A and B are shown apart, each in its own frame.
Chain A
Amino acid sequence: MIQAASHDAPSSHDHAPPPATFTVRVLRQDAPDQPSYWEKHTIVRENDMNVISVLQRMAAQAETADGNPVTPVAWDCNCLEEVCGACTMLINGRTRQACSALVDKLLVDNPEGIELRPMSKFPVLRDLMVSRARLFRALQKAKAWIPVDGYYDLGSGPKQSPADQEVAYPLSECMSCGCCLEACPQYTKIELTKRDGETDAEFKARETSAYDGAFIGAHAISQVMLFNTHPTGKMNAGERLDALTAEGGIQVCGNAQNCVAVCPKHIPLTTSIARAGRATTLHSLKKFFDL
């Protein structure tokens, strides 16, 4: 890869030897409506550590740098190879995956240690775990799938041209990690708390409607372009464009282009945004003039 990737590859130029131990500062929070607090841990450096293995050591030690016993820090992860997006958090202030954040590389950039925080645009469930429900709700709102379920075999669909495949493949790599949303200046946090006497269903409905009224996000815009490029998906293109012109749709984007800069999958999000900008405008004109 020629790209100066923000992750991987320990620095090739030789610096001072890595420290024997290093400090990890974690922003913890016991439960959604609790205050957050900083905690310091000292970790013995080993070869080839990533932030997930750091969190595992912290759990095994179960004590802070001052020797106070503490519960393990909660975090999410699945694939451990940067394809599921579950381990996304703020590492030294920036949004990225913990599994692909290599400790030696982090210590070269910042010898003082490592700082871990939960993503700032999503409600914290506990410690480094957040609820990305709004991200998934956006995919639902945008109908980011191809409806082929039915009672009989529909046969094979139309062929996709190689040119369209070239466009679609990179977009299909999205792992719903939320980095693009975390870095977006137009995507602001929504966190509701359950009211007294409100049922779970009522709360969920209120939350969904709040999510639907706010910015849908770059990931969903790009998924609309993915499914609207697909020969079968195209058949529902209008519905997806409707979602992008509803409240909180593509119009909220202010072209800061942070999304494309932070996307770990290098998805051409701003190209999708521009294409969707054109498609939504044409779609609205068509609807207005009933073409």
Chain B
Amino acid sequence: MEAQSGSFFARNEFLIRRLHSLTGLVPVGAFMCVHLITNSSTLGGAEMFQKNVDLIHSLGPALPAVEWAFIFLPLIFHAVVGVWIIRSGESNYFTYNYVSNFRWWMQRVTAWIALFFILYHVFHMHGWFHTEWWLKNVANENTGGHLFKPEHATSSAAIALASPFKKLLYVVGVTACVFHLANGLWTLGITWGIWTSPAAQRRANYLCAAFGVGLLAVGLGSIVGVSKTNVAEAEAFENAQLETKAAAAKRAAELLKKESAKAVTPTATATKK
């Protein structure tokens, strides 16, 4: 025990715990809200969802950097510190069966579910890493990884979630993450001293519960939206859109060529003079 007291971790425990709390809210919690809202647009059909995905992927080559800086690294930090926090406490719910003690325990149970679910989910859809070697050898159709194709957003998501077992897994995972965020929001308000009196904490509790129920509806809506997708129709739409895009790109390239040819001629004549 005393060997630890000089360690970096021990000396900065307050700061680390405050950063853990903050990262749970932003960027991780905020991202999760945006992510679930985006995904629920599958309820509006393939076109709507594709438009949202295209908007995100318009970041192009900057996307991996944004993903790592604003999603993966803060999440990894929150998860690593979170596991350390979980190991530092011991539930006694069976002796002191109060509601808030149950929630303390559930915050930890849902943290474990979120950890394994997110690890799986990111592998399943995204593949974890996008290097050529990794996609060829590790995250592929055979291993069930990297199944989401941004240019075939709706159809690839629907195919990835086709099995009822996967759907169930996603329902459990999303529910756990939403509880963790909504309950975390409430404890965060105490941690930072935003709601202090019992009355204020009770009122904040209603707000956090309403937020959680709302976000859960959005999250489960995403799964419903994906499940209702007609894969053939979605694919047809996506292919048509890709063709239109390809044709537009071709036309643009031709125009550009013509333009540059025109621009070259006067200079050529000028050198002749």
Contacts and interface: CB of A to CB of B under 8 A. Distances in A.
B92 A258 contact: yes
A289 B23 CA distance: 22
A213 B105 CA distance: 24
Given A257-B100, A258-B100, A277-B191, A251 B2 contact: no
Top 5 closest pairs, chain A to chain B, by CB: A278-B193, A256-B104, A251-B17, A257-B100, A274-B196
A278 B192 contact: yes
A281 B90 CA distance: 26
Interface of A is mostly: helix
B37 to A, nearest CB: 28
Contacts of A21: none
A214 B11 CA distance: 12
User: Which of A94, A210, A251 counts the most chain B CB atoms within 10 A?
Assistant: A251
A275 B196 contact: yes
B14 interface: yes
A71 B5 CA distance: 42
A261 B96 contact: yes
A276 B193 contact: yes
B90 A256 contact: no
A71 B197 CA distance: 48
Contacts of A206: 2
A140 to B, nearest CB: 17
Given A249-B13, A255-B104, A277-B190, A183 B96 contact: yes
B101 A257 contact: yes
Contacts, number: 117
Given A246-B14, A247-B5, 12 more contacts: A183-B95, A185-B104, A186-B88, A206-B2, A213-B2, A213-B4, A247-B11, A251-B18, A254-B187, A258-B96, A273-B190, A275-B196
Contacts of B192: 277-278, 281
Which size bracket describes the interface of B in this complex?
35 or more
A229 interface: no
Interface in B218-259: none
Interface in A197-240: 206, 209-210, 212-214
Interface residues of A, number: 43
B5 A209 contact: yes
A274 B85 contact: no
B101 A278 contact: no
Contacts of B89: 185-186, 188, 254
B201 interface: yes
A97 interface: no
Nearest to A188: B90
A251 B88 contact: no
Given A185-B91, A257-B100, A274-B193, A284 B14 contact: yes
Given A188-B88, A213-B5, A245 B14 contact: yes
A266 to B, nearest CB: 11
Contacts of B98: 257-258, 261
Contacts of B187: 254-255
Contacts of B190: 255, 270, 273-274, 277
8 contacts: A185-B91, A186-B89, A188-B88, A209-B1, A255-B190, A257-B100, A261-B98, A277-B190
